[in-house]
Amino acid sequence: MITWSNFFSCENIKTELSKIEEFRKNEEEKYENLKVFPKKEDVFKSFKLTPFQNIKVVLCGQDTYHGEVNNEPQAQGLCFSVPENMKLPPSLKNIFKELVNDINCEYPKSGDLTKWGEQGVLLLNSSLSVLQNNPNSHKKIWNIFSKELMKFIVENKDFCIFICWGNDAFNSLKGLNLDKHIVLKAYHPSPLDGGKFFGCKHFSKCNDILISKNLEPIDWSL
């Protein structure tokens, strides 16, 4: 059985992780008044939460949240997710608006998406760390890791649904053979896209596809 250990034990991935660790260390020394998010123990949280064999859906995020509230980072190692009782970022507010309109559930009381990850939704950012208040600051250092990760998932899963919101998320699959899989694409939920994200109905579409494949649908309500 293939697990995340098969990926993380690859020599090229171990090399990349050594480079990333050194980069983070240098960032923390260079910008001693700024933090690196998420906390070190949360960087790989999405993999711990969603074992490889359990993946049914990959929700493709982009950059990790780069802010903090009351000295607590918004980023918790799960794309779009924030810790319990934390104010919702604008993108997550739009995701929840679409969720409510799509499946007619109650508006979530928490921005913690752990429940999705526990059901087989891999909550994956393409950049797994960021310098405080500096969006996309770690994008380049994670580039090879993220490309190899997507390739590993695509080649080793018999089937999964990739939910891509925004061109960056969609481009993470560029050049890969997706014949076995399904990709749902929409605009990014950021307010910068002027509400074009609304109406994509990806939550209900995703469940319709899973049911058609005799797989358990996701309980998206939070």
Closest to 73 (Cα-Cα) out of 28, 110, 39: 39
List phi, psi (to 5°) of 123. Answer: -95, 90
Q: Which of 42, 63, 102, 112 is catalytic?
A: 63
Q: Report DSSP state, residue 195.
A: T
Active site residue 63: yes
Neighbour tally for 190: CB within 10 Å: 16
Token output for 113: 């998406």
User: Do the beta carbons of residue 42 and residue 15 sit within 8 Å?
Assistant: no
What is each CA distance from 45 to 42, 80, 97, 161, in whole angstroms? 5, 13, 26, 20
Catalytic residues: 63
